[in-house]
């Protein structure tokens, strides 16, 4: 839905008669939510709607807009997405007065995770700043929460209803009408955003041209319209697994692995605190089943383009053989068919297709920008129950049952298609509605000083039971766990800057990393040990937590070795290793309890300029650890809790308080 920069400039020129939706997305969720806002606005009869990424809009033109909806995600420690940073810097200019946005009406919806300390921080700051600049708030800020059972949509649904009602009251002629959004008598389908070009056998490339796995991966993912947003790391490193070691005991209910990946030919450029992104391989049998279910030719070659991209290149021949890729390869490398659950509009669109083909009413949101001419199997008329089921799932009344069927059971795209066999979709539609195969990010647990041509990872192998007792497995972690070192194919990897900046050797460290949160701190300790050989280094306190000493004390020998003699965690060096085993005694003990036990040592290190690093689960741990640190400051410094909180905020402001968490 997002237009090109040229189209954005053109649209801005006629901004007085439109609803503008600006989004800032890091992983794609905010873009999805913004596109839904745009679809509903068009569904309600809004004559002009533009959905743009913030970095595709000139912020100096904001005063000429009448109605603007902002959809903003929050990353890391309350940071805005990369696409918002330039826009935000402009809004902070001191020459923008309190009336700069007078006459502009705005609404802000944020996407965040309440497990993080700075929940929806970017959206909250934006909402306040817009008001300070004179914009009028149409509706109170909406706060989407990943922790909600329905995800961010649990807050988006009621927020949108309030938004449209408020806008209706403001301007009856221009803006979406709630009655039209819910009108059951519309049955027009829009065009697809994706164009597929098929090639005859004499137009396909020679095998030798596509023999390089690096080029194949880059070609496929560059071609995917969905991944043009998600992928920005360039060609991958192709690394070989050389170690696959289980860290937890065989009898433990948790399987945590230590992986070592290397480039046999050269050193790998990375820093401590960085993350490694991995593109997982999908099960070939699942890919084959998807292709067979969708009646696709696995061996044909195709070019996939977004419609806006197609317009730019219309009339010109495809210039490179690398623009053509085998169907099966494209599906395997770009479409998550066997691990990701379909997005909600998958069901909305499915109901729309069935209804349109029978000239019956649409039951819910019109997918005008996502649905193309659709093919339905000849026996469709016998599958009335499937049509009714999809209509029910797509309705507000069926939302809870859809959640139970889809999200709670973690059903995949392939499983849903197999449940609704009478629905046959064209490939253009499948490309759009199948979630993209995303790279998975892991904290690097090795130091480049200690392992210049290797990267180590500490990975929990994910599996869980659904409410109906079906075992589900994480795609990437399960795939990695099944690889045989030095025997399997190369692994496509990208280096990404992490949210834990590498500290200077002279800076004391307080590291807190329970469970797999220890991963980046294994790298920090390795790095500090290597630095000690060449120069004096500051002390390190490390707090680790797990359930049992015997079952899941990850890297036990590593930590104990560095805590002895002259190691960087030894008391002789002013450091320390403190481990909380939560289940080895009647009363549970966690890392925050160990922090309080070492209150004086922690405070003395903070006074000497220590930096605090926290890594691990985003549930309760970060908040509990932060509260423990505040208690330390209150006790040792003799101040109130409010002052202790400010003390930590000041540390964060100067880069000495850093958190990296994950769900």
As annotated, the binding site includes 25-30, 73-76, 146, 440-443, 474-477, 516, 582-583, 588-592, 624, 662
- Which among 98, 99, 163 has a CA at the least distance from the CA of 137? 163
- Which among 258, 621, 309, 587 has a CA at the least distance from the CA of 444? 258
Which residues are annotated binding-site positions for FAD?
440-443, 474-477, 662
**Integer Cα distance of 544 and 565 in angstroms:** 20
SS3 category, 433: helix
H helices within 305-379, ranges in order? Answer: 307-312, 327-334, 344-357
* DSSP per-residue codes, 31-96: HHHHHHHHHHHHHTT-S-EEEEEGGGS-GGGGGG-SEEEEEEE-BTTTBPPHHHHHHHHHHT-TT-
CA 338 to chain centre: 18
CA distances to 17, 55, 117, 121, 320 from 22, rounded to whole Å, are: 16, 9, 25, 17, 35
Place of tokens 């169907």: 327
| DSSP letter (8 states) at residue 205 | P
SS3 category, 476: helix
User: Phi/psi at 579 (nearest 5 deg)?
Assistant: -120, 130
H helices within 279-412, ranges in order? Answer: 284-293, 307-312, 327-334, 344-357, 384-394, 399-403
CB 260 within 8 A of CB 483: no
Which residues are annotated binding-site positions for FMN?
25-30, 73-76, 146
- Which among 506, 568, 563, 566 has a CA at the least distance from the CA of 538? 506
CB 566 within 8 A of CB 529: no
CB 646 within 8 A of CB 657: no
**Integer Cα distance of 635 and 419 in angstroms:** 60
SS3 category, 220: helix
What lies within 8 Å, CB to CB, of 657 at 6+ separation is 611, 612, 648, 649, 651
CB 532 within 8 A of CB 524: no
Q: List the Cα angle 150/151/157 in 5-degree steps.
A: 70
**Residue 520 host element (H or E):** helix 519-532
Q: Which two tokens mark 558? A: 């590593």
Which residues are annotated binding-site positions for NADP(+)?
516, 582-583, 588-592, 624
**Residue 522 host element (H or E):** helix 519-532
């Amino acid at each position: 839905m997002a237009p090109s920069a040229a189209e954005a400039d053109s649209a801005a020129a006629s901004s007085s008669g439109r609803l503008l939706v600006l989004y800032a997305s890091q992983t794609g969720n905010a873009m999805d939510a913004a596109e839904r806002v745009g679809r509903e606005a068009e569904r309600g009869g809004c004559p002009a709607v533009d959905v743009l990424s913030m970095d595709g809009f000139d912020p100096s033109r904001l005063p000429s807009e009448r109605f603007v909806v902002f959809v903003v995600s929050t990353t890391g420690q309350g940071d805005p997405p990369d696409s918002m940073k330039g826009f935000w810097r402009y809004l902070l200019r001191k020459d923008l007065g309190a009336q700069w946005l007078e006459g502009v009406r705005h609404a802000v919806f944020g996407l965040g995770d309440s497990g993080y300390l700075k929940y929806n921080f970017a959206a909250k700051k934006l909402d306040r700043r817009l008001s300070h600049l004179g914009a009028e708030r149409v509706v109170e800020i909406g706060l989407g929460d990943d922790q909600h059972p329905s995800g961010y949509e649990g807050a988006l649904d009621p927020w949108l209803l309030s938004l449209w009602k408020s806008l209706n009251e403001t301007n009856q002629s221009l803006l979406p009408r709630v009655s039209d959004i819910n009108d059951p008598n519309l049955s027009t389908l829009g065009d697809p955003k994706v164009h597929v070009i098929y090639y005859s056998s004499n137009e396909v490339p020679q095998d030798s041209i596509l023999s390089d796995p690096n080029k194949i991966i880059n070609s496929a993912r560059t071609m995917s319209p969905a991944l043009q947003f998600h992928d920005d790391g360039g060609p991958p490193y192709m690394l070989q697994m050389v170690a696959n070691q289980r860290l937890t005991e065989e009898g433990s209910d948790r399987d945590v692995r230590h992986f070592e990946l290397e480039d046999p030919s050269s050193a790998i450029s990375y820093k401590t605190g960085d993350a490694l992104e991995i593109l997982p391989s999908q099960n070939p049998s699942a890919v084959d089943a998807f292709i067979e279910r969708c009646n696709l030719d696995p061996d044909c070659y195709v070019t996939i383009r977004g419609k806006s991209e197609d317009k730019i290149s219309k009339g010109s021949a495809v210039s490179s053989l690398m623009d053509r890729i085998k169907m099966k390869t494209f599906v395997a490398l770009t479409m998550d068919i066997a691990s990701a659950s379909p997005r909600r509009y998958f069901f909305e669109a499915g109901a729309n297709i069935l209804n349109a083909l029978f000239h019956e009413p649409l039951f819910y949101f019109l997918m005008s920008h996502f649905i193309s001419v659709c093919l339905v199997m000849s026996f469709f008329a016998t599958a009335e129950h499937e049509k009714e089921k999809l209509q029910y799932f797509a309705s507000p009344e069926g939302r809870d049952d859809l959640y139970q069927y889809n999200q709670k059971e973690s059903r995949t795209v392939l499983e849903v298609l197999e449940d609704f066999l009478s629905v046959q979709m064209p490939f253009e539609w499948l490309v759009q509605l199948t979630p993209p195969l995303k790279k998975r990010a892991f904290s690097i647990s090795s130091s480049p000083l200690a392992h210049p041509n290797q990267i180590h990872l500490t990975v929990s192998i994910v599996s869980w039971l659904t409410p109906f007792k079906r075992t589900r497995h994480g795609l990437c972690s399960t795939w990695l766990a099944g690889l045989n070192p030095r025997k399997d194919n190369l692994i496509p990897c990208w280096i990404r800057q992490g949210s834990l900046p590498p500290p200077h050797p002279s800076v004391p460290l307080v590291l807190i990393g329970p469970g797999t949160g220890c991963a980046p701190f294994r790298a920090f300790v390795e790095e500090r040990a290597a630095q000690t050989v060449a120069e004096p280094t500051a002390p390190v306190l490390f707090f680790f937590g797990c359930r049992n000493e015997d079952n899941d004390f990850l890297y036990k020998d590593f930590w104990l070795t560095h805590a002895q003699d002259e190691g960087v965690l030894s008391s002789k060096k002013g450091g320390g290793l403190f481990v909380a085993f939560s289940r080895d005694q009647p009363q549970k003990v966690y890392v925050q309890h160990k922090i309080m036990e070492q209150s004086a040592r922690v405070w003395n290190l903070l006074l000497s300029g220590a930096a605090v690093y926290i890594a691990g689960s985003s549930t309760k741990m970060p908040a509990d650890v932060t509260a423990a640190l505040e208690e330390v400051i209150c006790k040792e410094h003799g101040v109130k809790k409010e002052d202790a909180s400010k003390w930590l905020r000041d540390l964060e402001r100067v880069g000495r308080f850093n958190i990296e968490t994950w769900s």
